[in-house]
Chain A
Amino acid sequence: EAGVTQSPTHLIKTRGQQATLRCSPISGHTSVYWYQQALGLGLQFLLWYDEGEERNRGNFPPRFSGRQFPNYSSELNVNALELEDSALYLCASSYSQGNTIYFGEGSWLTVV
């Protein structure tokens, strides 16, 4: 059974540009979570989608947004990139409002 898959593995963008990261959850999982892991800052919760709707949002500005598609895959968009957005972005999935979340390998975003 395939795990959570994320793409791209690495992404380099210039300050002010937009970045799009993608995630496919484990088959059968309808909840998708996004986390940011910046150097020295631990795991910061970004967004939670369930059944196509945004259910909860962490303490991030509106330029961090996303959506969940009918097949439960998800994308994270970061607009007006800033240098401090450079981080590992982790996607995780679970059954709907499930208790155990499973992570993908992450997408490295570097803003220069």
Chain B
Amino acid sequence: AQSVTQPDIHITVSEGASLELRCNYSYGATPYLFWYVQSPGQGLQLLLKYFSGDTLVQGIKGFEAEFKRSQSSFNLRKPSVHWSDAAEYFCAVGWPGGFKTIFGAGTRLFVKA
């Protein structure tokens, strides 16, 4: 069965430090891959997506993600974290033709001063 795993339930980083959030998926072919962010009490905002082509994808708010087929991973990175980045981050997979998108359990990011 298809699945998305975010191994880290929560991560704490210092403001200005780099960030990497992990995401692994289980699927026979390369799915469409997404990262969303959810600030407390709000909906999910799309940060970036990968469909095909260049495996390094740039998103909004200075985030990027790299697709690695050999590792079935799609990790999210940011070189310098800001306090406003504190939120929950969801990795998701979809595939051509529609059907529901599958979300990971989320990683809560805490940013310390």
Contacts and interface: CB of A to CB of B under 8 A. Distances in A.
Chain B interface SS verdict (over half): loop
B10 to A, nearest CB: 13
A42 B104 CA distance: 8
A112 interface: no
A72 interface: no
A99 B96 contact: yes
Interface in B82-98: 90, 94-98
Interface stretch (B17-25, B45-53, B54-62, B63-71): B45-53
Interface residues of A, number: 28
Interface string A96-112: 11111111111010000
A98 B41 CA distance: 26
Interface in A50-64: 50, 55-56, 58
A43 B100 CA distance: 12
A73 to B, nearest CB: 17
B98 A33 contact: no
Interface in A78-99: 88, 90, 92, 94, 96-99
Nearest to A3: B43
A31 B49 CA distance: 19
A101 B100 CA distance: 9
B106 A101 contact: no
Interface of B: 32, 34, 36, 41-46, 49, 51, 90, 94-101, 103-106
Interface of A: 4, 6, 31, 33, 42-43, 45, 48, 50, 55-56, 58, 88, 90, 92, 94, 96-106, 108
